[in-house]
A and B are shown apart, each in its own frame.
Chain A
Amino acid sequence: MGKPLRVVHYVNQFFGGIGGEEEANAELRVVEGAEGSARALVQAMGDDGSLAATIICGDNYFSDQNERAVAALTDALRSIQPDVVVAGPAFDAGRYGLACAQVCKVASELGIAAVAGMDAENPAVEMYARDVMIVPSGAAPAQMLSVLEAMWALARKLGLGEARGPAEVDGYIPTGERRPWVREEPGSKRAVDMLLAALGGREFQTEVPYRAPERVSPAPPLADLGRATIALITSGGLIPKGNPDGAAAAGGPRYYRRSIEDLDSLEPVHWEAFHVGYFTEIVSGNPNYVLPLAQMRELETRGEIGKVFDSMFTLAGVGTAVARAKELGQGIADELKDGGVDGVLLVAT
């Protein structure tokens, strides 16, 4: 029985036990042993792994001070020299997912095996699945221990220097890499079995998953801004104060069209931000930060645009499945077309 692998666990400010969104600017720090959710990783690893350190970093710090964060991370990994790095799981948190994936990329470049965990719909997956081992976690933090167990199974394999198997066997999101592999039955038989299943309306597992990259052609530029009607949209979760419509703070699941016809600005006495994905206090103090109505009215007065569209569209975008987001976008687009809108400013948080 070999000695336990040396492991470093990367977590954000919340899962590191520092605090919530208000601590998202926390500097990257290295703590010896297990902090926060790393304690669950210790349980998952048993005798096979020993947690050398927990690296905790605020999601905003990692994003805004990226060069500094990466430098501090690199120093830490060079000094600790772990056998494997585990990052997350980030579940459906976009900034955290991006950080976890980048942490793994940095580790790989230093020759250290690394595994990240996050929901398959996390926006970071599209960006990093080709370069980073990502174990799909689902979106429920209550599953932390079982997710870490799945991540550890792969991390241990890679940490021991074993070659990884196919994505469906080792439980990671496909990287797009294809390697020759021997299956139990000849291709002719497998193809006929699949065809029979398809004809019989039964489920089958394709061997060639096709994921068409969604590329939307850019809309042609506006010719005359001074005569254009511009609409404002935000995914930052703006709601009328008190949330009379019971809007959700995540996942859409629908958008709201609100009249701004008689407003010169969005006042905090009438609006607030209701969104679980970012620290909303600043926007609730000045909603124009995510829906720039005050700024646009100024430009409208000066004649730099024709007019601001009479309605704005809002929802809390965090954690919305891509397919659903497409439907919502199509719905908003239809309303914009009906309203004779020429251009749109969409503010994301």
Chain B
Amino acid sequence: MISAIYRLPMVTGQSRVVRGCRIEHVCGNPELGPQEDLQYGLRIVRTALAALTTEVSGPTLFDPEEGRPGVVREAAHAS
């Protein structure tokens, strides 16, 4: 599943969860401009496809932007 509010599917038992951008534009970001938007969308989809090829034992988060330089990831939910 690709979702911007990733904690919710994880808590309800979804095994492979990919972090999307925002609820109103899950697989991309219109503010990036068309080229960057497509590249970002491709990163998200590639991450999702990689998740399909990954063995998991329970709810697991796959973040397309993890480890990318210059990207600050604010938690979508503080626990």
Contacts and interface: CB of A to CB of B under 8 A. Distances in A.
A–B contact with Cβ pairs below 8 Å: the answer is yes
Interface of A: 60, 63-67, 70, 94-95, 98, 102, 123, 126-127, 213-216, 218-223, 225, 228, 230, 236, 278-283, 285-286, 288-290, 292, 294-296, 298-299, 304-305, 343, 345-349
Given A127-B11, A218-B58, A221-B54, A347 B24 contact: no
A289 B77 contact: no
Contacts of A63: 4-5, 23, 76-77
24 contacts: A60-B22, A63-B76, A94-B5, A95-B23, A98-B5, A127-B11, A214-B13, A216-B13, A218-B15, A219-B15, A222-B52, A225-B52, A228-B52, A230-B52, A279-B23, A288-B41, A289-B24, A292-B44, A295-B28, A304-B46, A343-B49, A347-B3, A348-B26, A349-B23
Interface of B: 1-5, 7-9, 11-13, 15-16, 20, 22-28, 30, 38, 41-42, 44-46, 48-49, 52-58, 74-78
A236 B41 CA distance: 17
Contacts of A223: 53
Given A126-B12, A280-B24, A289-B25, 4 more contacts: A63-B77, A215-B13, A298-B42, A304-B49
Given A60-B23, A347-B27, A66 B45 contact: no
* Central interface residue in B3, B4, B26, B75, by most chain A CB within 10 Å: B26
Given A95-B5, A305-B49, A348-B9, A292 B27 contact: yes
Contact of B55 (A60, A94, A220, A294): A220
Contact of A345 (B30, B38, B45): B45
A346 B1 contact: yes
Given A215-B13, A225-B49, A282 B78 contact: no
Contacts of B38: 294-295, 298
A223 B48 CA distance: 15
Contact of B11 (A126, A221, A305, A348): A126
Given A67-B74, A127-B8, A296-B45, A345 B23 contact: no
Contacts of A299: 42, 45-46, 49
Contacts of B5: 63, 94-95, 98
B26 A349 contact: yes
B30 A282 contact: yes
B53 A222 contact: yes
Top 4 closest A-B pairs, CB basis? A218-B15, A289-B25, A292-B27, A295-B41
Nearest to B58: A218
A15 B66 CA distance: 36
Contacts of B41: 288-289, 292, 294-295
Nearest to A213: B13
Contacts of A216: 13, 15
B27 A64 contact: no
A289 B44 CA distance: 11
Contacts of A214: 13
Contact of B25 (A222, A283, A294): A283
Nearest to B21: A289
Contacts of A348: 1-3, 9, 26
Contacts of A221: 52-56
A102 B15 CA distance: 24
Contacts of B9: 348
A349 B25 CA distance: 8
B11 to A, nearest CB: 5
Contact of B30 (A286, A296, A305, A349): A286
Nearest to B40: A295
Contacts of A127: 7-8, 11-12
Contact of A67 (B25, B52, B75): B75
Nearest to B43: A295
Contacts of A126: 11-12
B9 to A, nearest CB: 7
